[in-house]
């Protein structure tokens, strides 16, 4: 017992652990938003959209610009939060219609490579439009401070994220399980051809799914913007993390992505306390293990 407390002096500090857990949850939420979009797109179109991190980044940058243009204060912030993901959704739609439609019938490798190419293009465009230096978005004053959780200070902004999370999760569940569109989407993940044979316009459905997925990534980026440095390279960072989440949780599985995102968020949070040097390797090692033992993820479906 003494050994444990000397190695991990914080382990008896209940309030601190609670705060760390909540912190990890909010990190997990950003990841969830990005990853669920990627997972959704894969589930329906069978394309792993590597440019998903780029969508996240574009949304964060859009937040920077929108917050600057709009009048200062909370209203401006909320409007930006709504508009930025829409902007990214439009971008996603354009990309799907002009590029991705042409390659659905092609080798999945070519599709993967094409979306990888998009990362480079979008990255350069962001650089050209916004310049090379780092940007930041301020939190609205109401959320700039902290509250006390079990006596420990906890940033209010993260409370917002944690509060939005169940709303988003429930919202997504409602969309997929209680709307006709959601039913079509679920059907498409099971059998596209049959759906087409039944007269559904699969091609438009694909576009809609892609736009929705991009919007989710955009929401993640917009929400995260006030908490991180908005910089070039954030696309690679979030992509790698989203990748890990989606692989562990299972491509195409909503619940899997949620669990895995929270898991990864917590791991990152505690990883620094427990295994500071190897927390990054740990993440990839876990991903590798999952891929070896259960390649379709914890809750995913095996490849046809």
Partner 1 sequence: MTRATATWAIGFVVALALPLVLSTFFIVLLIEIAVVALFATAFNLLMGFGGMVSFGHAAYFALGAYAASLLAQKAGWPMLAALAAAPVVAAFGALIFGFFIVRLTHTYFAMLSLAFGQIVYTIIFKWTSLTGGDNGLLNVWPPAFLRSHTAYYYFTLLVIGACFLALYAVVTSPFGYALKAIRENPRRARFIGVNVRRHQLYAFVLSGFFSGVAGGIFAFHNGSVFPDFAFFAKSFEPLVVVLLGGVQSFYGPLAGAFGFKLLEWVISKWAPIYWPLFLGAIVIAVILVLPQGFVGLLERRTWRPRPSIGK
Partner 2 sequence: MRISRRGALVATLLMSGSLGLGPVLEPAYAQGKPIRIGEINSYSGVATVFTFPYKEGLAMATKEINDAGGVLGRKIEYVHRDDKLKPDEAVKAARELVLQEKVDFLAGCITSAVGLAISAYAKDAKVLYFATHCQTSRLTWDDGHRYVAHTTNNVNQYARVLAKKAAGFPYKKWAHISPDYEYGQNLWEEFWAYLKFLKPDVQVVQQNWPKLGESDHSSYITALLQSGAEAFFSGLWGAQEIAFVKQARPFGLTEKLHFFTPAIGTPDELDPLGKEAPVGAITTTFPWYDEAVLKRHPKLAEWNKKYSEWAKAQGVKDPQPKLGASWGYASGYIIAEAIKRAKSTDHDKVIGVLSEGFEMEFPWGKVIMRGCDQQAMPPQWSGVVKMGKDGKPFVGDIEETHGKDIIKSCDEVAKLRAAAAEKKK
Q: Which residues bind partner 2 (CB under 8 A)?
A: 9-10, 13, 16, 19-20, 23-24, 27, 127, 132-134, 136, 144-146, 152-158, 227-229, 231-234, 237, 268-273, 276-277
Q: Tokens standing for 259? A: 């669990």
Q: Which is nearer to partner 2, 101 or 156 (CB)?
A: 156
CB 68: neighbour CB atoms within 10 A?
12
Q: Is residue 36 classed exposed, middle or buried when 0-12, 13-18 and 19+ CB atoms within 10 A define those classes?
A: buried
CB distance 245 to 32 below 8 Å:
yes
Instruction: Candidates 64, 137, 287, 299: give the one binding partner 1 (CB under 8 A).
Output: 287
CB distance 55 to 211 below 8 Å:
no
- Of the candidate spans 74-82, 159-167, 220-228, 237-245, the one that interacts with partner 1 by CB under 8 A turns out to be 237-245
Q: Tokens standing for 94? A: 């354009």
User: Is residue 128 at the binding interface for partner 1, with CB under 8 A as the rule?
Assistant: yes
Q: Which is nearer to partner 2, 65 or 146 (CB)?
A: 146
Cα distance between residue 166 and residue 173, in whole Å: 10
154 touches which of partner 1, partner 2, none (CB within 5 to 8 A by kind)? partner 2
User: Is residue 303 at the binding interface for partner 1, with CB under 8 A as the rule?
Assistant: yes
User: Is residue 117 at the binding interface for partner 1, with CB under 8 A as the rule?
Assistant: yes
273 touches which of partner 1, partner 2, none (CB within 5 to 8 A by kind)? partner 2
Q: Tokens standing for 6? A: 């000397």
Q: Is the dihedral of CA 89, 92, 96, 100 positive or negative?
A: negative
- Which residues, at least 6 apart from 200, have a Cβ–Cβ distance to it below 8 Å? 184, 187
- Sites of contact with partner 1 (CB under 8 A): 48, 99, 102-103, 106-110, 112-114, 116-121, 123-125, 127-128, 236, 240, 243-244, 247, 251, 277-278, 280-281, 284-285, 287-288, 291-292, 295-296, 303
């Amino acid at each position: 017992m003494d050994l444990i407390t000397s190695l991990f002096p914080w382990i008896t500090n209940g309030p601190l652990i609670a705060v760390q857990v909540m912190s990890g949850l909010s990190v997990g939420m950003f990841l969830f938003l990005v990853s669920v979009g990627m997972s959704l797109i894969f589930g329906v179109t069978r394309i792993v959209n590597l440019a998903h991190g780029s969508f996240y980044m574009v949304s964060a940058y859009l937040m920077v610009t929108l917050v600057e243009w709009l009048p200062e204060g909370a209203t401006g912030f909320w409007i930006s939060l709504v508009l930025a993901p829409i902007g990214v959704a439009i971008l996603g739609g354009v990309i799907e219609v002009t590029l991705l439609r042409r390659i659905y019938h092609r080798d999945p490798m070519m599709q993967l490579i094409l979306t990888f190419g998009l990362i480079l293009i979008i990255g350069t465009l962001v650089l050209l439009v916004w310049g090379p230096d780092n940007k930041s978005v301020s939190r609205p004053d109401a959320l700039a401070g902290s509250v006390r959780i079990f006596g420990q200070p906890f940033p209010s902004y993260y409370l917002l994220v944690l509060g939005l999370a169940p709303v988003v999760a429930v919202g997504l569940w409602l969309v997929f399980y209680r709307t006709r569109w959601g039913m079509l989407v679920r059907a498409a993940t099971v059998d596209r051809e049959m759906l087409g044979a039944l007269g559904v316009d699969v091609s438009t459905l694909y576009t809609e799914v892609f736009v929705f997925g991009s919007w989710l990534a955009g929401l993640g980026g917009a929400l995260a913007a006030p908490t991180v440095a908005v910089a070039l390279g954030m696309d690679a960072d979030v992509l790698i993390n989203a990748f890990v989440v989606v692989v562990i949780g299972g491509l195409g599985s909503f619940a899997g992505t949620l669990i895995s995102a929270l898991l990864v968020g917590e791991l990152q949070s505690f990883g620094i306390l427990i295994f500071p040097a190897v927390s990054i390797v740990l993440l990839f090692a876990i991903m590798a293990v999952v891929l070896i033992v259960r390649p379709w993820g914890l809750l995913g479906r095996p490849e046809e």
